[in-house]
């Protein structure tokens, strides 16, 4: 069968490439065409447009690149119609992908599958109307999405497992133990992958851990696209190490962590590393107000959302202050009730995620549905 996949960023490239690999085991005659990246290209097929030409985040960048975005969208629509795939598989990236789904539903009979469902439970819940109207099958990687879609919105979905859990399991099974030794326990700092996240979060993370420098080694997980010199401006005279492309080995060898909200919070939990979730925002008091009254969820970290309770402390917006971070990190580096409770919560997160291989489970279900 012919599969047309659309992703818009690096994480989507990774997840889609794993899905493609699994599809080939269930459909040996699979042919792929895609908006994607290098990892997808290694699985074979035709790369129509690289995600680097799509990945514009935030209001101003999107506005500045609007003509390019619109051209890519028109190219995508036209290319799908001309190629006539058996299915279009959308991967995350809802701003672009939901518009493609709407067009396909209005102008074609091509089924549309969505892998890694849009996070409308946090923001833009009104998109449920578009999903119900335009998406034929929705494949979720977060267990708490099942009651959200099925019970609250009466829209059946497939929970297929979590790809991050798959990746951590594979890493642990093959890890050879290689990682620098520092002579001290390690505190990992995962300060985000974008320049503004690093600038907003890293300085306070470092200040809040200055008092631990004699007993612990601070190690920053460097974002692949951010040069060492950018980090150096925040280090000053501190003895801070930085590692690139070694986030999993870093977490495997860490005693505790400070983590900016995102998938990194889940990765840290799956490595059983007690953490404090830190996220600075501009206009922090206003954001704290909006979070209380406008956000649809109680938590910002995937760890707490999956557990449906506070497993790790979240210091977000107005709560993200040096004294708060210092207090929380001091609590979890000790052999304390807080540290024990976090690890017990992590065990619950693992249990809720299950043991399914997300890409293989999704691929099997997709092929079964298409073959009828």
Q: What is the mean pLDDT of residues 277-306?
A: 69
* Beta carbons of 176 and 170 less than 8 angstroms apart: no
Q: Are 199 and 333 found together in one domain?
A: yes
Assigned token pair, 284: 């922090």
Rg value, the chain, Cα: 21
* Beta carbons of 217 and 186 less than 8 angstroms apart: yes
Model pLDDT for residues 243-271, shown as the tens digit of each residue: 999 999 999 999 999 999 788 999 999 99
Q: Are 262 and 283 found together in one domain?
A: yes
Is 15 inside any structural domain? yes
- The structure's pTM equals 0.87
Q: Can you give the residue range of the structural domain that contains 139?
A: 2-161+356-371
SS3 content of the chain, % helix, strand, coil (to 5): 50, 15, 30
Comparing 292 with 54, which gets the higher pLDDT? 54
- Burial code of 84-97, b = ≥16 C-beta within 10 A, e = fewer? ebebbbbbbbbebb
Assigned token pair, 212: 């631990």
Q: Are 295 and 364 found together in one domain?
A: no
pLDDT band for position 65 (cuts 50, 70, 90): low
What residues contact 205, with CB distance under 8 A and at least 6 apart?
Answer: 189, 191, 258, 278, 325
Domain count across the chain: 2
- In the block, tokens 């807080």 appear at 338
Q: Are 133 and 204 found together in one domain?
A: no
pLDDT, residue 288, reads 43
pLDDT band for position 284 (cuts 50, 70, 90): very low
pLDDT at 56 over 50: no
Nearest to 9 by CA among 226, 137, 194: 194
Is 149 inside any structural domain? yes
Q: Are 147 and 183 found together in one domain?
A: no
Instruction: Collapse the DSSP code of 334 into the 3-class scheme (helix H, G, I; strand E, B; otherwise coil) and give the result.
Output: coil
Helix (H) or strand (E) holding 3: strand 2-6
CA distances from 295 to 125, 126, 318 (A): 10, 13, 16
Instruction: State how far the Cα of 67 lies from the Cα of 119, in Å rounded to an integer.
Output: 26
Sequence length of the chain is 372
* Beta carbons of 80 and 104 less than 8 angstroms apart: yes
The sign of the dihedral angle between the CA atoms of 275, 191, 194, 279 is positive
Q: Are 249 and 202 found together in one domain?
A: yes
Degrees to nearest 5, angle at CA 41 with 76 and 1: 65
* Beta carbons of 111 and 88 less than 8 angstroms apart: yes
pLDDT band for position 285 (cuts 50, 70, 90): very low
Q: Are 11 and 156 found together in one domain?
A: yes
Nearest to 92 by CA among 160, 31, 5: 5
Q: Are 29 and 127 found together in one domain?
A: yes
pLDDT, residue 57, reads 47
Is 235 inside any structural domain? yes
Instruction: State how far the Cα of 108 lies from the Cα of 84, in Å rounded to an integer.
Output: 9
Model pLDDT for residues 173-222, shown as the tens digit of each residue: 999 999 999 999 999 999 998 888 899 999 999 999 999 999 999 999 99
Q: Where are the alpha helices (DSSP H) in the chain?
A: 10-26, 38-42, 59-64, 66-83, 94-107, 128-134, 145-146, 163-174, 195-208, 228-235, 247-252, 263-270, 284-293, 302-307, 322-333, 337-353, 358-371
Q: What is the mean pLDDT of residues 217-233?
A: 93
Q: Are 219 and 318 found together in one domain?
A: yes
pLDDT at 310 over 70: yes
Instruction: State how far the Cα of 166 lies from the Cα of 189, in Å rounded to an integer.
Output: 23
Asked which of 4-13, 126-135, 321-330 is least confident by mean pLDDT, the reply is 4-13
Is 86 inside any structural domain? yes
Is 239 inside any structural domain? yes
Q: What is the mean pLDDT of residues 229-244?
A: 94
For residue 73, what is the domain's CATH number? 3.40.50.2000
pLDDT, residue 66, reads 57
Instruction: Collapse the DSSP code of 151 into the 3-class scheme (helix H, G, I; strand E, B; otherwise coil) and give the result.
Output: helix
**Percent of the chain at pLDDT exceeding 70:** 91
Is 166 inside any structural domain? no
Q: Are 187 and 276 found together in one domain?
A: yes
pLDDT at 130 over 60: yes
Q: Are 27 and 88 found together in one domain?
A: yes
Average pLDDT, the chain: 91
Is 233 inside any structural domain? yes
Is 125 inside any structural domain? yes
Q: Are 220 and 153 found together in one domain?
A: no
């Amino acid at each position: 069968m012919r599969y047309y996949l659309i992703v818009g960023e690096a994480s989507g490239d990774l997840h889609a490439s794993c899905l493609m690999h699994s599809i080939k085991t269930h459909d040996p005659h699979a042919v792929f065409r895609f908006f994607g990246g290098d990892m997808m290209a290694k699985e074979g097929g035709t790369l129509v447009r690289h995600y680097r030409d799509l990945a514009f985040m935030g209001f101003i960048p999107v506005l500045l690149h609007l003509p390019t975005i619109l051209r890519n969208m028109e190219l995508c629509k036209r290319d799908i119609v001309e190629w006539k795939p058996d299915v279009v598989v959308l991967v995350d990236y809802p701003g672009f992908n939901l518009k493609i789904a709407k067009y396909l539903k209005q102008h074609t009979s091509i089924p549309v599958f969505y892998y890694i469902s849009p996070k409308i439970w946090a923001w833009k819940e009104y998109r449920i109307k578009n999903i119900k109207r335009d998406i034929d099958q929705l494949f979720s990687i977060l267990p708490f999405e099942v009651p959200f879609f099925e019970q609250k919105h009466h829209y059946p979905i497939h929970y297929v497992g979590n790809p991050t859990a798959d990746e951590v399991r594979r890493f642990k099974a093959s890890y050879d133990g290689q990682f620098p030794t520092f002579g001290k326990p390690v505190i990992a700092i995962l300060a985000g992958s974008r320049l503004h996240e690093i600038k907003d979060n890293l300085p306070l993370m470092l200040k809040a851990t200055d008092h631990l420098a004699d007993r612990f080694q601070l190690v920053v997980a460097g974002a692949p696209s951010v040069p060492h010199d950018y980090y150096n401006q925040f280090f000053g005279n501190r003895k801070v190490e930085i590692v690139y492309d070694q986030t999993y080995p870093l977490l495997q060898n860490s005693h505790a962590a400070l983590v900016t909200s995102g998938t990194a919070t889940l990765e840290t939990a799956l490595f059983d590393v007690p953490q404090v979730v830190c996220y600075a925002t501009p206009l922090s008091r206003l954001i704290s107000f909006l979070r209380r009254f406008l956000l649809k969820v109680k938590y910002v970290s995937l760890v707490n959302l999956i557990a449906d309770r506070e497993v790790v402390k979240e210091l977000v917006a107005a709560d993200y202050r040096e004294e708060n971070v210092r207090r929380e990190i001091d609590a979890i580096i000790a052999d304390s009730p807080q540290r024990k409770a976090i690890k017990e919560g992590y065990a619950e997160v693992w249990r809720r995620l299950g043991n399914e291989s997300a890409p293989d489970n999704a691929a099997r279900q997709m092929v079964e549905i298409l073959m009828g």
